[in-house]
Amino acid sequence: MKKKPSLGSVYLVGAGPGDPGLMTLKGRRLIEEADCLVYDALGAPAMLGWAKPGCEKIYVGKRSGNHALPQEDINALLVSCAAKYACTVRLKGGDPYVFGRGGEEALALHAAGVPFEVVPGVTSAIAGPACAGIPVTHRGLCTQFTVFTGHEDAAKPESTLDIPGIAAAKGTKVMLMGMGRLRATMEALIAAGQGGNAPAAAVQWATTGRQRRVNATVATLADAVDAAGLGSPAVVVIGEVAALAEQLDFRSRLPLAGKRIVVTRTREQAGVLSEALAAQGAEVDELPTIRITDPTDRHDFASAVVDAPHYDWLVFTSPNGVKRFFRAFFAVYEDIRELGGARIAAIGAGTAAELKAVGLMVDVMPAKAVAEELIAEFDRKADDFGGVANSTVLWVHSEKGRRVVYDELMKRQAIVDECIAYNTVPETEDLSGARARLESEGADIITFTSSSTVRHFMELGIKLPEGCRIASIGPVTTATLAEYGLKPDMESADHTIPGLVEAILKAKS
């Protein structure tokens, strides 16, 4: 037997500049394995969803009105996590060692004898300008670049900022943490010999859907930033390369650039929709209104799964049902063949995809992902398999939800048993602050991907902000919206996630 070390490992992981797609593969794997995640504001909320169930998540950043945990306390916390958890991930925005105080955390871990590793990240100092169309080096324009912090007050005697050195430096200059003192720092640089007419740019929330860029000169940047209302976090770039943004800023040309879209699916499921919208340039806020839990009667669920090999038909009505069913199935059986020769029916491409992942093809699936259509498909295909009368059917579904499948198959003389695989409960936590943001800043579009997301959104008592348009995945969800007096502005034609994205793109153009 391996000896369990008394102290777990701590990984200082660079979370990249904001776009979760810019996280490293190693960083993502560590988040998935982590028993404890320590994070602050600049880590993308989507990354929290990568953690396994039961992972302890500790927020150490600033909350409106509250200060961030002091650095010494974070250091001590990391050391104490190592005593409690085998794998702790400390997520840090960008690269952990670029103005992230990652070095101090590593030194504290080293001093306490805690095994640690650093996983470098994509730094905003380079990726921020890049995603706004500014290469930090460019042949013929510059041969070096300097990165400096604008956090310090250059006029104060204790400042270690080398303003004359920066002003005299050749090539591109990149300033982080400089928005609070932007005007003073630009003035100090000019006073120290920096050319006031040199191109300059500020990029806020770079690499994310909230990205905004302002181009000006060193002398005019502070005014331009004020006029545009840009704030932190932003990178400031000084140098000839800043002018290339006009040609190279690909992000601002994406179809959903500048649109804030709210995704109301569960944290585990939001990813596919969020990524598809983000790829079109949208700023996506995940506001999960429901959470998937075990069914109330776990014993019933387990025995239904054990008995599954005895049925003629297995009917799956959601991806969650498939996932939960086979998690339980493979806890009991080792081989998919032990499921026997049952025919399989499914609603929705996502459900079929989950089935395919365990090696099962679907026999009956309607083109439209609604229960009525599944029944119609059963009727249409009745000749192929002799109808469902007297067949035994196991219906895998959630605790709440419609009973069309059960009622209609019973009407057709099938012998239907239920396998309640999961329950959906309201998500009351606002871990990422998405709910607060929706209420205070509004959004352009809110998406609903099921009736239960609508109901739970309403149950949470969240007010739809003024001017926010509604996108629905299909007629059932639309009907549920109507119960609350709401009418969607766009609806997916084929009731799928790609269809929903298409509807949003179409409504935009």
Q: Which residues are part of the catalytic machinery?
A: 40, 62, 177
CB of 195 to ligand SAH, least distance (A): 23
Nearest to 449 by CA among 186, 261, 281: 261
Q: Is residue 146 near ligand SAH by the rule CB under 6 A?
A: no
Q: Give SS3 for 186.
A: helix
C-alpha torsion sign, points 276, 278, 284, 287: positive
Q: Is residue 203 near ligand SAH by the rule CB under 6 A?
A: yes
Q: Give SS3 for 62.
A: coil
Applying CB under 6 A, among 123, 185, 266, 480 the residue interacting with ligand SAH is 123
Q: Is residue 45 near ligand SAH by the rule CB under 6 A?
A: no
User: Which H, E and C letters describe 412-469, residue by residue?
Assistant: CCCEEEEEEEEEEEECCCCCCCHHHHHHHHCCCEEEECCHHHHHHHHHCCCCCCCCCE
* Angle CA 317–343–351, to nearest 5: 25
The first and second tokens of residue 457, run together, are 């959104």
Q: Give SS3 for 66.
A: strand
Q: Give SS3 for 293.
A: strand
Q: Is residue 315 near ligand SAH by the rule CB under 6 A?
A: no
Amino acid identity, position 336: I
CB of 10 to ligand SAH, least distance (A): 17
Residue 189 or 235 having the CB closest to ligand SAH: 235
Q: Is residue 58 near ligand SAH by the rule CB under 6 A?
A: no
Residue 37 or 500 having the CB closest to ligand SAH: 37
Strand ranges (DSSP E) for 371-414?
A: 392-398
Q: Is residue 228 near ligand SAH by the rule CB under 6 A?
A: no
**β-strand pairing of 260-263 with 87-92:** unpaired
Closest residue to ligand SAH: CB criterion: 94
Specify whether the CB–CB gap between 445 and 259 falls below 8 A: yes
Residue 8 or 128 having the CB closest to ligand SAH: 128
Nearest to 271 by CA among 257, 259, 288: 288
Q: Is residue 95 near ligand SAH by the rule CB under 6 A?
A: yes
**β-strand pairing of 36-39 with 56-59:** parallel
Q: Is residue 264 near ligand SAH by the rule CB under 6 A?
A: no
Candidate segments 98-106, 164-172, 470-478, 488-496, binder of ligand SAH by CB under 6 A: 98-106
CB of 354 to ligand SAH, least distance (A): 34
Q: Is residue 129 near ligand SAH by the rule CB under 6 A?
A: no
Residue 154 or 342 having the CB closest to ligand SAH: 154
Q: Is residue 20 near ligand SAH by the rule CB under 6 A?
A: no
Residue whose pair of structure tokens reads 């969800």 in the numeric block:
477
Q: Is residue 159 near ligand SAH by the rule CB under 6 A?
A: no
Candidate segments 118-126, 133-141, 324-332, 347-355, binder of ligand SAH by CB under 6 A: 118-126
Please tell me the count of residues contacting ligand SAH according to CB under 6 A.
25
Q: Is residue 18 near ligand SAH by the rule CB under 6 A?
A: yes
Q: Is residue 205 near ligand SAH by the rule CB under 6 A?
A: yes
Interaction mask 172-201, ligand SAH, x per CB under 6 A: ----xx------------------------
* Exposure letters 325-357 (e unless 16+ CB within 10 A, then b): bbebbeeebeeeeebeebbbbbbbbbbbebbee
Residues of this chain, 454-483, that bind ligand SAH according to CB under 6 A: none
Task: Find the distance separating the first CA and the last CA of the chain, reported in whole Å.
Answer: 63
Nearest to 457 by CA among 485, 422, 481: 481
> E strand or H helix at 346, and its extent?
strand 343-346
CB of 224 to ligand SAH, least distance (A): 16
Burial of 456 (0-12, 13-18, 19+ CB in 10 A): buried
Q: Is residue 93 near ligand SAH by the rule CB under 6 A?
A: yes
Applying CB under 6 A, among 10, 55, 98, 420 the residue interacting with ligand SAH is 98
Residue 71 or 232 having the CB closest to ligand SAH: 232
Q: Is residue 233 near ligand SAH by the rule CB under 6 A?
A: yes
CB of 210 to ligand SAH, least distance (A): 8
Strand ranges (DSSP E) for 365-412?
A: 392-398
CB of 187 to ligand SAH, least distance (A): 19
Q: Is residue 161 near ligand SAH by the rule CB under 6 A?
A: no
Q: Is residue 235 near ligand SAH by the rule CB under 6 A?
A: yes
Interaction mask 25-44, ligand SAH, x per CB under 6 A: -----------------x--
- Using CB under 6 A as the criterion, which residues of the chain lie in contact with ligand SAH when the complex forms? 17-18, 42, 93-95, 98-100, 123-125, 128, 176-177, 203-208, 232-235
